[in-house]
Amino acid sequence: MRETLTNKRLTGRRMTKERAEFRRLAQSTEVGTVTRGQLAVLSQSLPCTGLITSTESHLLTVIVNTARADAFDTGGRPIVFKSNNQLGFEINRSPGRVSRILSRLFDAGLVTMQDSANFKRYPIRDGEGELSDACGIDLRVLIARYRELDALVRQKREEKRANDAAARRFRAALRSARFALMNAADMTETALASLASRIDRIAAFVGIASRAPAFVSRRAARLLEWLVGRSVQASRRPETVSDHDNMTCTNVENDMHKQITNPHPFDWSKEERRPAKAGQHNSLKAGYASKRAFEESLTRGSDPDNRQSRPQQGIVALDDVWRAAPSLKDYFTTAPRSWSDLARIAPQICRLAGVSEDARLRAVDQMGQQAAAIAIAVTFEKYSRQEVSSPGGYLRAMTDRAASGELHLSRSVFGLAARNSMEALN
């Protein structure tokens, strides 16, 4: 009679070198240094380290909370005897899934398993009722590794904060670079195209800032700031001395000189030549700002065709604007070096003068960034001189005049600059 051959399948938990080491570590651990609450908080924080997933963290937290609180005191043994079926019910997973999760927790060194012959979990007590041995889920290895794992969690959180700070700095530098690119009116098209290409390459290299390493985001932010600084320096061209700047005859010594504030002193129209006091109006109130603004056209009674045939008003220099509004020096110690700098501080000037954001945005939409910044500086100077009681209404009146083509900012700037010069001499 032939003997029946049966295939013997290996049963039991697979034991590896790492698992044996974790078990020896658990057996040599002194209980009483860590509380159950500390282990529960650690179990919930471990997913940020990448050691375990959120489901594994959930099961580990349930196991920690299942153990008795006094089991973590000195001389205790924190061992859990719940079955996979009960644990699966508490985390809404199948018993087979719980078994696989426990194996991964064992491999990660967060729990150790002491199995019985029939894979049941139960305590073994002596004659006095004390726990002498047990088959279940042992948490002593988690107590032994608490300091190590807690330090790892703190390190990951610190890295996250550093990455977030570097990402915020990079995004701010990228916004500033693109804003400077949009407002770089003094640069040539070739320089603008080169700067835009470099900014795009840096942004493409970094990609999503929140996912990039902190050192990459910081280096990219420094590079963008350096590019913006280089572009600002390149856009500053030395001002050439023109015929309009040199108005003094060298052979006249003691005669009285008249300062000509017109930007076109050699035009054929006599109305374009005016001394420094010409065009200076009395103090304005807000109710008359829309009708009697300082920038009111001096050629209202002239022929419209003749007015259109005249050349455009001269370009106002940035230094002229700063001389026309000396009140800004009380709040801004450093003079703006470019029109972009003046446009950047324009919202602050509006807040100082009490001008609403809506009025400023209307001026920007109607005049553009540069002209709106000049108008805001003029408005602030008149408000500081108490020549207008409502700076917001005055700026809106200037915006309306710009829409109708009757605004002459250059005359306001040159007139204010001349008046400030005469007051300084007197």
Ranked by mean pLDDT, which of 249-263, 270-284, 365-379 comes out on top? Answer: 365-379
Q: Calculate ∠ Cα 272-275-281, nearest 5°.
A: 90
The terminus-to-terminus CA distance of the chain in angstroms comes to: 134
Higher pLDDT, 260 or 210: 210
419 CB-near residues (< 8 Å, 6+ apart)? 276, 280
Exposed e or buried b per residue across 234-257, where buried means at least 16 C-beta atoms within 10 angstroms of its C-beta: ebeeeeeeeeeeeeeeeeeeeeee
Whether 392 has a pLDDT exceeding 50, the answer reads yes
Which pairing describes strands 131-135 and 137-138: parallel, antiparallel, or unpaired?
Answer: unpaired
Candidates 371, 420, 391; CA nearest to 293 is 391
Which residue has tokens 């398993």?
113
Which of 64-78, 85-99, 210-224, 281-295 is predicted least confidently?
A: 281-295
Which of 110-114, 132-136, 320-324 is predicted least confidently?
A: 132-136
Higher pLDDT, 351 or 140: 140
193 CB-near residues (< 8 Å, 6+ apart)? none
Candidates 137, 134, 132, 135; CA nearest to 119 is 135
DSSP state, 128? Answer: T
347 CB-near residues (< 8 Å, 6+ apart)? 357, 360
pTM, to two decimals: 0.49
What local confidence, expressed as pLDDT, does residue 127 receive? 64
What local confidence, expressed as pLDDT, does residue 276 receive? 36
- pLDDT > 70: what percent of the chain? 74
Q: Where are the alpha helices (DSSP H) in 207-326?
A: 214-235, 304-309, 318-324
What local confidence, expressed as pLDDT, does residue 40 receive? 94
Backbone dihedral angles phi then psi of residue 222, each to the nearest 5 degrees: -65, -40
Q: Which structure tokens are listed for 199?
A: 């900014």
Q: Cα(21)–Cα(152) distance, rounded to whole angstroms?
A: 21
What local confidence, expressed as pLDDT, does residue 261 receive? 46
Whether 284 has a pLDDT exceeding 70, the answer reads no
pLDDT, tens only, 146-180 = 999 999 999 999 999 999 999 999 999 898 888 88
What local confidence, expressed as pLDDT, does residue 353 receive? 84
- How much is the average pLDDT of 408-422? 83
Q: Coil, helix or strand for 272?
A: helix
Confidence of residue 295 (pLDDT cuts 50, 70, 90): very low
Letter for the amino acid at 42? L
Confidence of residue 283 (pLDDT cuts 50, 70, 90): very low
Q: Cα(87)–Cα(97) distance, rounded to whole angstroms?
A: 10
What local confidence, expressed as pLDDT, does residue 151 receive? 95
Confidence of residue 15 (pLDDT cuts 50, 70, 90): confident
Contact yes or no for 368/315 (Cβ under 8 A): no
Confidence of residue 93 (pLDDT cuts 50, 70, 90): very high
Contact yes or no for 214/166 (Cβ under 8 A): yes
Q: Cα(390)–Cα(398) distance, rounded to whole angstroms?
A: 13
- How much is the average pLDDT of 219-232? 83
- pLDDT > 90: what percent of the chain? 25
Which of 12-26, 232-246, 363-377 is predicted least confidently?
A: 232-246
Which residue has tokens 């080169």?
194
Q: Cα(424)–Cα(279) distance, rounded to whole angstroms?
A: 19
Whether 21 has a pLDDT exceeding 50, the answer reads yes
DSSP string computed for 82-115? --HHHHHHHHT--HHHHHHHHHHHHHTTS-EE--
What local confidence, expressed as pLDDT, does residue 376 receive? 92
Candidates 334, 332, 337, 381; CA nearest to 355 is 381
CA 421 to chain centre: 42
What average pLDDT does the structure give for the chain? 77
pLDDT, tens only, 318-360 = 888 888 888 888 777 778 888 888 888 888 888 888 888 888 9
pLDDT, tens only, 243-261 = 444 444 444 444 444 444 4
Which of 92-96, 289-293, 403-407 is predicted least confidently?
A: 289-293
Confidence of residue 118 (pLDDT cuts 50, 70, 90): low
Backbone dihedral angles phi then psi of residue 247, each to the nearest 5 degrees: -110, 5
Where would I find the beta strands (DSSP E) of 257-302?
none
Higher pLDDT, 87 or 8: 87
